A and B are shown apart, each in its own frame.
Chain A
């Protein structure tokens, strides 16, 4: 007989001293294309959410996860776990500094376009909200099998980080918890 799963509960407003921010890039020497994704977390009224935590999980520049179950014939990067944690600031803003991940294998022949797996936690959020960041300027994005599970280009676009003109490696991407521009969240 299966055991009953432990239920999720909100992270609440007071996590900042119990959990610690973790930089995805532990050093400047990690190989790959350096990128910075900036944005804000917004609620259904358009107000900025100032007490959210965002966790990042990604492959390295070769599309390899630092995990024993990643059996792809690719090399991990010493010093790069692919995990990070950022807290939004008092204005709901955040900044993710990392390297652009490579494409990773899909369940069928073919690759998933470069993406970053995101978990969002906040007061008023009873369980982790999972989403993904893709790159609007990556030619593989349009053919990504996960994006193509989502109905309609308008909704798909909520997962696309947009390049900032004239600033190589700079992207913007917001998380909208509810409403017209609501970000696509996944049941994982």
Chain B
């Protein structure tokens, strides 16, 4: 028998419901029956600690992955990964992906009528340092149209994927930009019930981290699930 230290449950207003009528694709892709509450056993409090040793030198700098420089506004996106109690999450792999400045993904099924950029792939990886800090260099993504409703446009965003230390801390999210008029029209952003939690998905302009003459900067802090008791690790 192993009684592991359980993680706190997610406050439901911080997470989108699986069925969100404004986002049409959720209708047939969300369960009709309630989720079964699972106590946290070893299977839930463990999780992949993968990727720490597989980061290449330019993986965090999306502006230097090709021979030339990508078109667009150069930006630094940096922040800190902590748990709910403010404890840093060190050595955490972060994977990001995004479209280019024109709003086009390199992905083969993206049919948006906007140019590809031969110098921009839009995928990056890094690992948080001992204090949970991370830093990417990229270009500001464009908005792009999608088929959810008439004249639907996704606000500018960067996709983020994180693992934390456990199966239950797995998170895939999107970071948005301050002042984007498309936010209040976007059913994916608006799917998060709590206004404060929604605002947590919007990065903040970060003058201190800008590089004069070179790049603007934004700060995006990420909060993963935590627990109130420290686990026993012998």
Using a CB–CB cutoff of 8 Å, the interface residues on chain A facing chain B are: 2-19, 22, 43-45, 47, 49, 55, 57, 59, 65-72, 81-83, 104-110, 112, 115, 117, 119, 121-130, 132, 146, 149-150, 155, 177-179, 182-188
Q: Do A44 and B234 touch (CB < 8 A)?
A: no
With A9-B201, A18-B161, A107-B1 in contact, do A187 and B14 touch (Cβ < 8 Å)?
Answer: no
Most buried by A among B41, B46, B107, B191: B46
B167 partner residues in chain A, CB cutoff 8 A: 57, 117, 119, 130, 188
> Which residues 177-231 in B have Cβ within 8 Å of A in the complex?
188-189, 191-192, 194, 196-198, 200-201, 222-225, 231
A125 to B123, CA, bound (A): 21
| Binary per-residue interface labels of chain B (140-183) against chain A in the complex, 1 for a CB within 8 Å, 0 otherwise | 00000000000000000001010001111011111000000000
Separation of A106 and B45 alpha carbons in the complex (Å): 12
Give, as a whole number of angstroms, the nearest-CB distance from B123 to chain A. 4
CA separation between A179 and B26, bound complex, in Å? 13
Partner of A14, one of B46, B86, B109, B172: B109
B residues near A (Cβ < 8 Å) are 1-4, 9-11, 14-18, 20, 23-33, 35-50, 82-86, 95-99, 105-107, 109-110, 121-123, 159, 161, 165-168, 170-174, 188-189, 191-192, 194, 196-198, 200-201, 222-225, 231-234
Contact present for B29 and A188 (CB under 8 Å): no
- Which partner residue on chain B sits nearest A43 by CB separation? B28
Give the Cβ gap from B98 to chain A, nearest Cβ, in Å. 8
Given known pairs A14-B109, A81-B48, A178-B29, the reply for A105 and B2 (CB within 8 Å) is: yes
Which residues of B have CB within 8 Å of A126?
Answer: 16-18, 20, 23, 26, 188, 191
Separation of A109 and B39 alpha carbons in the complex (Å): 15
Give complex CA distance A5, B26 in Å.
Answer: 22
Q: Are A68 and B233 in contact (CB under 8 A)?
A: yes
Q: Do residues B27 and A44 form an inter-chain contact, with CB atoms below 8 A?
A: yes
Complex interface: chain A residues within 8 A of B110 (CB): 14
| CB of B47 to closest CB in A, whole Å | 6
Q: A182–B97 contact, CB under 8 A?
A: no
How far, in Å, is B106 (CB) from chain A's closest CB? 6
Are A107 and B39 closer than 8 Å at their CB atoms? yes
Bound CA span A112–B38, Å: 13
Please tell me if the beta carbons of A121 and B172 are within 8 angstroms of each other in the complex: yes
With the chains together, A168 CA to B154 CA distance in Å?
47
CB of B41 to closest CB in A, whole Å:
6
Inter-subunit contact B233/A4 (CB<8 Å): no
Residue of A nearest to B193 (CB): A7
The answer on a CB contact under 8 Å between A5 and B15 is: yes
New A-B contacts (20) at CB < 8 Å, excluding given A3-B82, A18-B96: A4-B14, A9-B189, A11-B159, A12-B174, A17-B107, A18-B97, A44-B27, A44-B29, A47-B28, A57-B47, A72-B2, A107-B3, A124-B28, A127-B15, A128-B172, A129-B18, A149-B37, A178-B28, A179-B32, A182-B32
Interface centre among A9, A44, A187 (most CB of B within 10 A): A9
Closest residue of B by beta carbon distance from A146: B38
B172:A7 contact, CB within 8 angstroms: no
Are the C-beta atoms of A17 and B16 separated by less than 8 Å?
no
